[in-house]
Every structure is written in structure tokens, then in C-alpha cells.
Amino acid sequence: MRNPFKYGGIVTGPYFADRSGEIKTLKREIENLNRVFLVSPRRFGKTCLLHNLMGSLDPDGYAVAYIDLNAFPDLRSFAGAVASLTTKALETNTDKLIKLFAGFKRLRPNISIGSEGDVSASLELAVEEKEAIAALIEGFAHADALAQRKRRTLAIIIDEFSDIEKYNGGAVEKALRAEIQTHQHTSYIFSGSEMSVMLSMVQNKKRAFYKMGRIMALEPIKQETYEGFIKGWFEKGGYSISTDCVREIIDLGQGITYNVQRLCHTAWEAAIESKTIDAPLTETLQAIIVKQDAPHYEVLWQTISATQKVLLIALAQDPDTPPFSKAFLLRHKIGPASSINASLASLVKKGILVRQGPGAQYRFSDLFFPFWIREIGKL
């Protein structure tokens, strides 16, 4: 039997840890043609949730276009993707699709024929860069109009939407709001992991998306639900594991989906012969993962300044004390506060740390990195 605990990619079907409540809520929002701003820290399974949501929608009544902003470095490629993916979601006939593509004013079709004669088509910007926003809006307008003609509800899901700022965000946001607020056949899910950016979009009165839709914060999977999912798979594989060990694994992973899945995956492989997962084995899981990831951590460590290394060591040893507190500064003999602030900002920008909540608390984006830091401190 293959290891059922998947991580690091899109997980669907029976391998997807249950989020039936969230899927039910989002389906209802789509049905009501609402706009949702889905926010969560990284590694909570947000993208997996969205893909499982798409798979749960009835294709006869709904069309879905999924757009990941990570895949589109500039506004021109984003504009082409919006028009192309939404049109393909609503029209599958190749001949009709090409005719629809030919009707755009600011975008031109790019037709290619595969080695077996299969035809594929996409869209690219046909005007100067300064008209890229107009081309983007043309794509969104066309999508809603086509959904009306097809008598289907279109759901447009834009993942990593917090990256919209890289496209001259203010102007793009204003243009998008002006267009999207008129749509009567399209629902939108704007999803992002940069929580402060996403919340600012909706809560800041000066931003174009102010109060444009509801905020849905993705929480960790409910403990009882996750326990049943984990125990069920281990038992199906013939493993012996107690409820206490399952809870210990969830605690080690801090309830974060990626972490828990990886710990379970590691436990499965570690006990592949004995089929017994007990407390002594559970205690070794983090060390096993850190050993696997050590080459990556070693390279990452070389990119960090000496001042930042001192701060990371302190945070790894003392994760629950705010770094600007007097107790933290005295205990670890670091400072001044201005230097700490600059280091924290740089480490957040690099994706090594994440600012947690409105206070001055920070956590490692990779749960296993501080374990590695503590281990090298023992050498």
C-alpha cells in the first residue's frame, strides 16, 4: 500500500484531510454569486482546499477558472490568462473557442498544433503595455457576458491574490472593482497567504476592495476530525497507533496541515516493517525530517547575515517571548531594537519568519527549521 499521507503538492480525493465544512460554505458563496477573500497562513492547505472545492462543483451548472498569480510575472501575462482560462472554462469546443478568442480587441490568439494533431490555443497581449489594464478588464467583462450566454455560473478563483500589488496594484485594484461589481453571473474567490496584505485590501477604507466581500479565515483542521483521518489511514495500512500518539503528532505539527501530513508520512515510512507507531518513534520524527532537509537548511543559513543568525538562534530557543520585550533582549543579549526590527523585516521578506497576529510575535514559516538551528547549537 502506498503512503497515503501526501504533502508538498495538490492533494485531492481520499488523501485530502476533511474540510467538508469549508467546502460547503464556499459552494454556497459561489451559488449566491458572492465575493470571498480567503486568507490563511502558508501550509494550511488553502490551495488543496480550492482544488477540492472545484472538484465538488457540478460541471453542468458551474464553470470554474483557477488562476494562480505566482504563474504570471507581469500584467500582460495575467491579462492573457484571465481571458484564456475563463473562456476555456465556459467553452470546450475548439472551433468555437478559437472564434471567441478572435473576438478580443486587445488580445490575440496564439494557436499551436501538437505532434498528434491536437490543437491548443491561448491569448496574449496585442497592444502596448500601457493598455494592459484595459486588456485585463476586457477579459473579465467577456467572462461574465459569456457565462450569461451559456446560462452557467462562473466561479473565478484567484490564488495568491495578495501578489496583485506587483502589477501596479492600486490602479489594477480600482479597475477590477469598477468592473467586477457589475457582474451578475460570476462569483469570485480571492485567496492569499499574506494575511496582512489581504486584510488591508478589504478593511482599509482607502483601498479599492474595501468591504467588497466577506473575509473567510482558514483555521487549522478540527482536532477530532484530523484524529479520525490520521488514525483511519494508519489502521487501513495495518499499523498500530494509539489516540495519544496521533494527538502528539498533531501537536508536534502545531495543527498546520503541511506539518502534520509530513510527520504522518515520515511515521508511516519509519514503521513500514514494525507497523507500530509508539511514543519513542514519535519523538524521533522531527529529527528524521530535519536530517532529510539539512542540505536545504545549510544553504539557507549561508544566505543569512551574522546579525540575523543571532536573532534566529534566540527565536529558536525562546519562541514564546516577543523579540522586542525586555526579557528577550536581556536573556539573549541582543539589540538594539532598531537592529532587531531591521533583521525581522528582512527575515519576513525572505519568507523565513512570519509575523503572527497584530502583536510583535513572530514564528518560523518552516516548523522544522528552528529544530535544525537548535541542533547545530549543540555541536
Tens of pLDDT, residue by residue over 3-42, are 999 999 999 999 999 899 999 999 999 999 999 999 998 8
Whether residue 116 lies inside any domain: the answer is no
Do 183 and 227 lie in a common domain?
no
Domain's final residue, options 167, 183, 217 = 217
Do 137 and 266 lie in a common domain?
no
Do 173 and 80 lie in a common domain?
yes
Do 202 and 335 lie in a common domain?
no
Do 267 and 329 lie in a common domain?
no
Do 305 and 360 lie in a common domain?
yes
Closest CA to 5 of 220, 160, 234, 197: 234
Gyration radius (Cα) of the chain, Å: 24
- Structure letter (DSSP) for residue 10: -
200-224 as b/e, with b when 16 or more CB fall inside 10 Å? ebbeeeebbbeebbeebebebbeee
Do 88 and 159 lie in a common domain?
yes
Closest CA to 238 of 283, 272, 289: 272
Question: What's the distance, Cα to Cα, between the start and end of the chain in Å?
Answer: 39
227 lies in which domain range?
A: 223-283
List of E strands, 58-206 = 62-68, 107-113, 119-125, 153-159, 186-192
Do 64 and 82 lie in a common domain?
yes
Q: What is the pTM of this model?
A: 0.88
Question: Which of the residues in the chain have pLDDT under 70?
Answer: 114-119, 169, 357-360, 378-379
Give pLDDT, residue 174: 95
Give pLDDT, residue 204: 93
Do 175 and 231 lie in a common domain?
no
Give pLDDT, residue 357: 62
- Domains: count for the chain: 3
Closest CA to 136 of 90, 183, 86, 191: 86
Domain's final residue, options 169, 185, 217 = 217
Which 3 state secondary structure label does DSSP give 190? Answer: strand
For 272, residues 6+ apart whose C-beta sits below 8 A from its C-beta are none
- How many contiguous H segments (helices) and E segments (strands) does the chain have? 16, 11
CATH of the domain at 191: 3.40.50.300
Closest CA to 140 of 188, 201, 70: 188
Sign of CA dihedral 45, 46, 47, 51: positive
